[in-house]
Amino acid sequence: MTTRSQTGSLKPKYPTSYLAMSTNVIEPSCYSQATKYAHWCREMQEEYNSLIQNGTWQLVPPSQSQNIIGSKLIFKTKVKPNGSVDRYKARLIAKGYHQRPCVDYVDTFSIVVKPATIRLLLSLAISNNWHITQLDISNVFLHGTLDELVYMSQPPGFVDPDRPKHVCLLKRSFYVAIIFQHLLHLPLKLSSFEGSHFHDEILYRSTVGAPQYLTLTRPDIAFAVNKVSQFTHSSKESHWAAVKCILRYIQSISSHGLFFARQNTKFLHGYSDADWGGLLDDRKFTIGFAVYLGSHLISWAFKKQRAVARSSIEAEYRTLATAASELTGIFTS
């Protein structure tokens, strides 16, 4: 494996004083707390103005037939690589966990580019010596039209004084908060029925959630993170021990990363594998695949399947079909 020190792409080391700046930033947990700070008030107003300008909703009278979901403002501080504050961001979300699956909605989606597409473009740009320019589009999710009937309460702190009882009929795609209950060579035999309960499930969920973002650039932890994420509804001490093992592993190889070098070949190929019967609770299997463009790893995934495979051959064929679908999607993109 190529390390960042070998390629000269290590990030600069910053003094501890700079890194500690991000930990001192106060992130409000609700609207009432945010109103005490001028910068959060500005961000909330900008978020609301953007939603109104894009025609995100239409105020309509409430009725008994409507399933009205709540709304909430969440706050996040964006930091620079050295730990100093870059900007503040207030985001209005809908409380999607008040909806019933297969009744109020069937699918959830996000109209954003796939990580594999980004890696594909980076691979082609490096091999062809193209110039890369990055841009950011504010509230890009609002460009999607919503055809379903979704009703949401008016945002906290921004209730229309003339129509305080009205609700928002959403016209645009919207951020929805949903609470879910859900290295093939890394042996993680975990069960929901064995061992004592972990004392702090909120700590478990928040800790497991962070490495999920890291899997976008670290394929070596994707399977392990997928495994421990399946126990957020009922975590055990053994699950927490596995999470700490993952964190120690991440800390020990923080200098490693994907390396894209200039190459002449554009051959697209992939590999797949299946963990048949590896889940102790329901004996369902996990599929995994990796797709390469030449020597550049551009796509990978590990997914627990809904069905039980009756043989290892069946599990392998299903995994192969999923990998072939991914290869086809990349080839035609």
Residue 290 CB coordination number (10 Å): 19
Q: At 98, phi and psi to the nearest 5?
A: -85, -5
* 35-36-42-46 Cα dihedral, nearest 10 degrees: -20
CA atoms within 13 A on the CB side of 47: 23
Domain spans of the chain? 12-105+148-177, 201-332
Contact 171, 57 (CB under 8 A): yes
Full pLDDT tens readout for the chain, 333 residues:
455 555 655 555 544 444 444 446 678 888 999 999 999 999 999 989 988 888 888 899 988 888 888 888 889 888 877 778 888 888 888 887 666 666 666 666 666 677 888 888 888 888 888 888 877 666 656 656 777 788 889 999 999 999 999 999 888 776 655 443 733 347 555 666 566 777 888 888 888 888 888 888 888 888 888 888 888 877 888 888 888 888 888 887 777 777 788 888 778 888 888 877 666 666 777 888 888 888 888 888 888 777 777 788 888 888 888 888 888 888 776
* Pairwise CA distance, residues 41 & 39, whole Å: 5
Helices (H) and strands (E) in the chain, counts: 9, 10
**What are residue 303's DSSP bridge partners?**
287
Residue 46 neighbours by CB under 8 Å, 6+ apart: 90
Give me the helices (H) in 220-291, please. Answer: 222-228, 237-252
The sign of the CA dihedral 32, 37, 43, 49 is: positive
